[in-house]
Structure 1
């Protein structure tokens, strides 16, 4: 089981990591353009197909049978590996290659705000910038981008692939 989890976690994380690096390079070279959130979401979904693959492989190892709990745990551990590597890659990118990300993101959000929302958005973005100076908040924000989707993917996959 550990080999299946590790292999699929590393394969899935290579997809989200490559996408994260690509998007970051694009944002740095085109600061005036915004990257669609759908691109990142699609990359995460693609990476989480390794959750399905891992659960199916685990089921096959168990002679075609797997409980919901074991299927969910397999998917969860794969998700945790993918998410943790995603967070680590972001930390390397942020602190070594894109240290002004918070300012860049804040400027984009304020520029998109309507005149009625500008004060509110500016306050929220200033709060975001302040929190983003703390590495713990950076880690938590980054996990919140990917981990909930992976957990949902693990639940749904476990429900579909369980076989008693």
Structure 2
């Protein structure tokens, strides 16, 4: 099981970072709003490997049988490995590569709030919240890392639950002659 989990976890981790690595390499190719969409799409694509990993474990290594608990455990471990890669790469990008991330994010967010027709007071309150995130990230890398886990890990856990429910099998599949 370990090899299966590590292999699919590392591959999923690298798939999950595609969105923000591309936007870092080509900053003008993808605007920040679309970058978020691509980022979440790459997370979902990455975590779809949980289905492949569970099926691979069940059919190749466990004689066609896997319990919900074991299947979920596989998915959870893959989610943790992939999320750790995502968080690590994001923090490296944030602290060493990106220039003025929160300034650019604040501009995009403020433009969206203006487009929604929010009052200047509501917009100002939202911008205080964005400034709070910037201060958190700038002053406490540990909390920044934990906060970044909140962005990706729940997606992986949800997909692990769904995959475990779909792929569990208590008895061997019948052999077709």
Instruction: State the TM-score, normalized to the length of structure 1.
Output: 0.91
Counterpart for residue 168 of structure 2: 162
Select the structure of larger CA radius of gyration: 2
Name the CA distance, whole Å, in 2 between partners of 1:80 and 1:149. 11
The Cα shift of 1:30 comes to: 6.2
- The alignment covers a number of residue pairs equal to 162
Counterpart for residue 43 of structure 1: 42
Asked if 1 retains the 8 angstrom alpha-carbon contact of 2:50 and 2:159, the reply is yes
Unaligned stretches of 5+ residues in structure 2: 171-177
Deviations 1:21-62 (A, max 9, x none): 002334x3469x333232212111110111111111111111
Counterpart for residue 11 of structure 1: 11
The Cα shift of 1:103 comes to: 2.2
Please identify, of 94-103 and 38-47, the stretch whose mean Cα deviation from structure 2 is larger: 94-103
Asked if 1 retains the 8 angstrom alpha-carbon contact of 2:110 and 2:127, the reply is yes
Name the CA distance, whole Å, in 1 between partners of 2:152 and 2:87. 9
Name the CA distance, whole Å, in 2 between partners of 1:92 and 1:157. 31
> How well do the aligned residues superpose, as a CA RMSD in angstroms?
1.7
Asked if 1 retains the 8 angstrom alpha-carbon contact of 2:9 and 2:79, the reply is yes
What SS is found at the alignment partner of 1:63? Answer: coil
Please identify, of 114-123 and 80-89, the stretch whose mean Cα deviation from structure 2 is larger: 114-123
Name the CA distance, whole Å, in 2 between partners of 1:13 and 1:140. 17
Unaligned stretches of 5+ residues in structure 1: none
Name the CA distance, whole Å, in 2 between partners of 1:41 and 1:65. 32
Counterpart for residue 88 of structure 2: 88
Counterpart for residue 137 of structure 2: 132
Do residues 68 (structure 1) and 68 (structure 2) align?
yes
Instruction: State the TM-score, normalized to the length of structure 2.
Output: 0.84
